[in-house]
Amino acid sequence: MEKKLPLQLNNISMTFPGVKALSNVTFSANQGEVLGLVGVNGAGKSTMMNILGGLLQPDEGAEIIINGETVNIKNPKAAENLGIAFIQQEVAAFETMNVYENVLASDFDKWRIKGSPFLNKKAMKEEAKKLLATLDCHIDVDTPTHSLTVGEKQMVQIARALSQGGQILLFDEPTASLADTETQKLFEIINNLRSQGYIIFYISHYLDEIFEICDRVVALRDGQKTGEAPISEINKEKLVDMMIGHFLETAKRKDARDKADVILRAENITGVKFPKNISFDLHKGEILGVWGLLGSGRSELFNTLLGFDKMVEGKISFNQGGELEEISQKDFYKHVGYLTEGRHHNGVFLDMTIAENITSSDLERFASKGIGILNNKKEKEESRKYMKQVNVKAVDENMIVSKLSGGNQQKVIISKWMLKDPDILFMDEPTKGVDVGAKAEIQNLIFDRSEEGVSFVVVSSELEEIMNLCDRIIVIAEGKLVGEVNRDEFSKEALMAGIVKQEEKVEN
């Protein structure tokens, strides 16, 4: 029998001020195994990975044993030396470096020409190319990393892990920003690495993925292990039960609403590249979906309409309780909320508290009359209300947002826009990184608000989500509007039809 490289984690605890993120978690992982780590937002998954990656030190009493030897992972370098490599939750790459530099970034010294301060760039490029080729990735290694797609950046990260001679790979929500085809490619690579004997940790809120790629799962809840099973012995209900302890009703739109007045008419919206001549109406209280493949120009439509990207041509008319009237982008923006896709780039103030973030969308409301001083008490009270509504897991409203788990940060952003209570809320991937339970809570919140007359325009890459949520969906491909589907006709085929036609046109 081949020699096994098992990883044993004993009594792992992690205490942050006010939070016990992990308590006495014990489990093991085997060579050639993909181990899924599942649990709701804030359960402790990333914390566990950060301990293995040397970014956090567990509490006294923890024991990590690799291949029979007790190890001390005191920093990321120590993790690297032990063959542990991290593929992070939010893709981390040195954006200004070229691909080959990024692949070999862990040890430039190795590539210095003997007796000279210079690097042997030719050899470096060859090595990077070779490593990427093992991942079936054939990008030009001279490309600046910032111009790669998220999927390609991830390949670069994996190649970097392999270049360090990693044996244990930690994937923390690797597919959150990937297109379907990129996810499939990633799975092929993970399968391949499994057969080569790597130990692979896999974290995801997409339960379908867990069933597709994992051999075994360990479930965490409130920092404790609540279950462990080979994937072949459980089903979705059992998995959700291990994660949250009860059966879960998914949120679903009852019926498409009767069409109310048009609140927004967008005509010929055209940006520099995308969108191209897009027109649509949005009704009061309607939830309108925007469907398209990654790169089809969905986010660009939002950015152009809302004035973040240049609008080359287009007319926006808005109904302020009477008739549709043309409105400038600046005035239009006063009536809307915009939940952007890139949480860390422009969605949240990481160094500020939860309360400050939630109230930032409408600070005027919290200013004491006439003197422009914030009423902190009111700010905090109101924030607590929203935190409760979407179930933000935190010590209290004074917690700094960077210390929240990924999914809880997303919930803070949702709260922020719900607080502004705009007439129209644009949401780009609203439930990205959010767990199954919170997803339903957020969707229900959207339903409730739409009943009150708020209109929504939602981009989601998840077919199931967009079909559950929306009254009507417009379809976009290559920056153009290629279809519109009403709720009673929703199906994958109907949504893909326009896209397929458009792609054929482009190819011919």
Residue 327 backbone phi and psi in degrees, to 5:
-140, 145
Give the residue, chosen from 227, 407, 422, 479, that forms a contact with ligand ATP under the rule CB under 6 A.
407
Helix (H, G, I), strand (E, B) or coil at 456: strand
Question: What's the closest the beta carbon of residue 438 comes to Mg ion, in angstroms?
Answer: 13
In the complex, least distance from residue 394 CB atom to ligand ATP, rounded to whole angstroms: 6
Task: Tell me which DSSP letter residue 148 carries.
Answer: S
* Least spacing, CB of residue 402 vs Mg ion, in Å: 13
> In this structure, what are the phi and psi dihedrals at residue 324, rounded to the nearest 5 degrees?
-70, 130
Task: Quote the CA–CA distance of 407 and 45 in Å, as a whole number.
Answer: 11
Least distance in angstroms from the C-beta of 353 to ligand ATP: 13
Query: Is there binding between residue 21 and ligand ATP (CB under 6 A)?
Result: yes
Q: Which amino acid is at 374?
A: L
Q: Which stretch binds ligand ATP (CB under 6 A): 64-72, 113-121, 303-311, 399-407?
A: 399-407
Q: From 122-130, 400-408, 419-427, 490-498, give the range in contact with ligand ATP by CB under 6 A.
A: 400-408
Cβ 154 to ligand ATP, closest distance in Å? 17
Can residue 46 be called a binding residue for Mg ion (CB under 5 A)?
Answer: yes
What's the gap between Cα 1 and its chain centre?
40
**Close Cβ partners of 32 (under 8 Å, ≥ 6 residues apart):** 194, 195, 196, 197, 198, 199
CB 279 within 8 A of CB 269: yes
Residue 421 · residue 365 · CB < 8 Å: no
Taking CB under 6 A as the criterion, the residue among 393, 432, 449, 472 binding ligand ATP is 393
Which two structure tokens, joined as six digits, stand for 358? 């939630």
Structure tokens at 265: 């008419």
Structure tokens at 312: 């080359």
Q: Which is nearer to ligand ATP, 47 or 361 (CB)?
A: 47
User: If you ran DSSP here, which 8-state letter would residue 215 be given?
Assistant: S
Query: Minimum Å distance from CB 10 to Mg ion?
Result: 22
By CB under 6 A, residue 16 contacts ligand ATP: yes
Q: Among residues 385, 403, 420, 487, which is the contact residue for ligand ATP, using CB under 6 A?
A: 403
Kindly identify the residues of this chain, within the stretch 27-56, that bind ligand ATP according to CB under 6 A.
Answer: 39, 41-47
| β-sheet bridge partners, residue 37 | 203, 218
Taking CB within 5 to 8 Å according to partner kind, which of ligand ATP, Mg ion, none is near residue 44?
ligand ATP
Q: Are 138 and 128 in contact (CB under 8 A)?
A: no
Residue where the block lists tokens 């291949």: 67
With CB under 5 to 8 Å by kind, the binding choice for 19 among ligand ATP, Mg ion, none is ligand ATP
Looking at beta carbons only, is 231 or 404 nearer to ligand ATP? 404
**Contacts by residues 211-216 (CB-CB < 8 Å, ≥ 24 positions apart):** 211/236, 212/187, 213/34, 213/36, 213/187, 214/34, 214/35, 214/36, 215/33, 215/34, 215/35, 216/33, 216/34, 216/35, 216/36
Binding-site member from 36, 406, 422, 479 for ligand ATP (CB under 6 A): 406
Residue closer to ligand ATP by CB (options 44, 483) is 44
Complex with ligand ATP: residue 47 or 157, whichever CB lies closer? 47
Q: Show contacts with Mg ion in window 393-422 (CB under 5 A).
A: 405-406
Site string for ligand ATP, 414-443 (x = CB under 6 A): ---------------------x--------
Residue 410 vs 450, nearer CB to Mg ion: 410
Specify the residue, 205 or 283, whose C-beta has the smaller distance to ligand ATP.
Answer: 205
Closer residue to ligand ATP, CB minimum distance, 396 or 451: 396
# binding residues, ligand ATP (CB under 6 A): 20
**Residue 369, Cβ density class (10 Å: 0-12 exposed, 13-18 middle, ≥19 buried):** exposed
Which of 430, 417, 208, 205 has its CA nearest to residue 298? Answer: 430
- Name the residue nearer to ligand ATP (CB basis): 242 or 485: 242
Report residue 422 CA to chain centroid gap. 24
Question: Minimum Å distance from CB 172 to Mg ion?
Answer: 6
Closer Cβ to ligand ATP, 206 or 447, answer by number: 206
Distance CA 351, CA 348 (A): 9
- Six token digits for residue 220: 């965490």
Could you tell me the smallest distance in angstroms from the CB atom of residue 350 to ligand ATP? 12
Binning the chain into helix, strand and coil, the percentages to the nearest 5 are 40, 25, 35
Residues in the chain, total: 508
Provide the residue type at 43 as one letter. A
Question: Which residue in the set 7, 9, 12, 19 belongs to the binding site for ligand ATP (CB under 6 A)?
Answer: 19
Please give the structure tokens belonging to residue 263: 């609140």
Q: Which does 43 bind (CB under 5 to 8 A by kind): ligand ATP, Mg ion, none?
A: ligand ATP
Rounded to 5°, the CA angle 422-274-344 comes to 55
Name the one range near ligand ATP by CB under 6 A: 136-144, 149-157, 403-411, 469-477: 403-411
404 binds, among Mg ion, ligand ATP, none (CB under 5 to 8 A by kind): ligand ATP
- Single out the segment in contact with ligand ATP by CB under 6 A; choices: 14-22, 113-121, 360-368, 371-379: 14-22
Nearest to 129 by CA among 93, 164, 163: 163
Q: Kindly tell me which of 106 and 224 has the beta carbon lying closer to ligand ATP.
A: 224
Binding residues for ligand ATP (CB under 6 A): 16, 19, 21, 39, 41-47, 393-394, 403-408, 435
Residues near Mg ion (CB under 5 A): 46, 405-406
